[in-house]
């Protein structure tokens, strides 16, 4: 079966609270308006958002043979994503993240790798890749069994077959990750890290310098998202800075994945970099209207209407 996009990588069950006024003290119980079980993880979130805007998307990843794994599969299927290539494993639980939201502060995460630690390049069928238009890998570096050279070979073959390769990362804390990235970037059409991740990867604080570093390492197009500070794009013939759309902020979980989904949707429509940035910014911005990773994200009709009324300001740098 062919898909417009294959969304490969981290599949997670998110457990989160509605924003608290403060962190609880030791031994203290605080009451919140909501405790939610929602879908999370880069590949899950991107697939949900892509399906929401009408993209034919297939999901590849691993979950446990437990209730949380079934929840992820059922949620993806209900959204319209194809889950036939999601593996259920008996010897490990489903990956999960505990997300603590405090008013006026960034989210706090407690994560277990679970079944995501078992995903390998061999789990990504070549026949499915070559029939797709875009191969997206989300959460790279959080999946220790997904080897760089095997993934680089797959990306290289995909590009030769006319498939666009898109990569995003998640860092499991401080560390030296460059050696797991440098041989993959030359086979990556679009690299989509945020500026905090990029600072750890490159040792550079300036997002423009970060973009130049990744571009020099071989990525064809680099997009550095900076949250409410905008987005920087570097490609062979473009250096662009995009401002942001302002939405009422409830929670930031999933906003980066929604940006990825919007950018990919632009690529599938054959749009140029400025329009792809606009689609990414619209979906990423709409995501923050909810504490969950996907519930607030625009539909295609909502995105098109919003972009018609709110052109994104893009300049050169």
Lowest mean pLDDT among 21-35, 212-226, 233-247, 301-315: 21-35
Delineate the domains of the chain, giving CATH numbers in brackets.
5-10+42-94+117-316 (3.40.1190.20)
> Mind listing the pLDDT tens digit for each residue in 128-186?
999 999 999 999 999 999 999 999 999 999 999 999 999 999 998 889 999 999 999 99
Banded pLDDT at 188 (limits 50, 70, 90): very high
pLDDT of 1 higher than 80: no
SS3 readout for the chain? CCCCEEEEECCEEEEEECCECCCCCCCCCCCCCCEEEEEECHHHHHHHHHHHCCCCEEEEEEEECCHHHHHHHHHHHHHCCEEEEEEEECCCCCCEEEEECECCCCCEEEEECHHHHHCCHHHCCHHHHHCCCEEEEEEECCCCCCCHHHHHHHHHHHHHCCCEEEEEECCCCCCCCHHHCCCCHHHCCEECCEHHHHHHHHCCCCHHHHHHHHHHCCCCEEEEECHHHCEEEECCCCEEEECCCCCCCCCCCCHHHHHHHHHHHHHHCCCCHHHHHHHHHHHHHHHCCCCCCCCCCCCHHHHHHHHHHCCCCEEEC
Mean pLDDT is lowest, of 33-37, 53-57, 70-74, for: 33-37
């Amino acid at each position: 079966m062919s898909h417009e996009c294959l969304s490969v990588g981290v599949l997670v069950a998110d457990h989160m609270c509605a924003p608290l006024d403060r962190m609880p003290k030791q031994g203290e119980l605080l009451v919140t308006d909501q405790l939610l079980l929602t879908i999370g993880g880069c590949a899950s979130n991107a697939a949900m958002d892509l399906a929401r805007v009408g993209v034919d998307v297939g999901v590849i990843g691993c979950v446990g043979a437990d209730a949380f794994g079934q929840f992820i599969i059922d949620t993806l299927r209900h959204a319209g994503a194809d889950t036939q290539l999601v593996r259920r494993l008996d010897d490990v639980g489903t990956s999960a993240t505990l997300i603590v939201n405090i008013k006026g502060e960034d989210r706090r995460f407690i994560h277990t790798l679970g079944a995501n630690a078992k995903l390998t390049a061999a789990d990504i069928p070549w026949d499915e890749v070559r029939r797709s238009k875009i191969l997206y890998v989300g959460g790279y570096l959080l999946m220790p069994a997904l080897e760089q050279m095997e993934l680089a070979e797959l990306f290289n073959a995909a590009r030769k077959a006319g498939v666009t390769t898109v990569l995003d990362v998640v860092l499991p804390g401080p560390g030296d990750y460059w050696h797991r990235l440098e041989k993959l970037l030359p086979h990556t059409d679009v690299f989509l890290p945020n500026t905090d991740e990029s600072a750890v990867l490159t040792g550079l604080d300036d997002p423009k310098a970060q973009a130049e570093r990744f571009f020099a390492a071989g990525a064809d197009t680099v997009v550095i998202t900076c949250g409410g500070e905008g987005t920087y794009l570097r490609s062979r013939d473009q250096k662009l800075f995009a401002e942001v759309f302002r939405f009422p902020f409830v929670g930031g979980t999933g906003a980066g994945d929604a940006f990825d989904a919007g950018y990919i949707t632009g690529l599938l429509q054959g749009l140029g970099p400025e329009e792809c940035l606009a689609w990414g910014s619209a979906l990423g911005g709409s995501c923050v209207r909810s504490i969950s990773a996907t519930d607030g994200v625009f539909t295609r009709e909502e995105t098109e209407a919003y972009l018609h009324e709110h052109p994104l300001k893009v300049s050169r740098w």
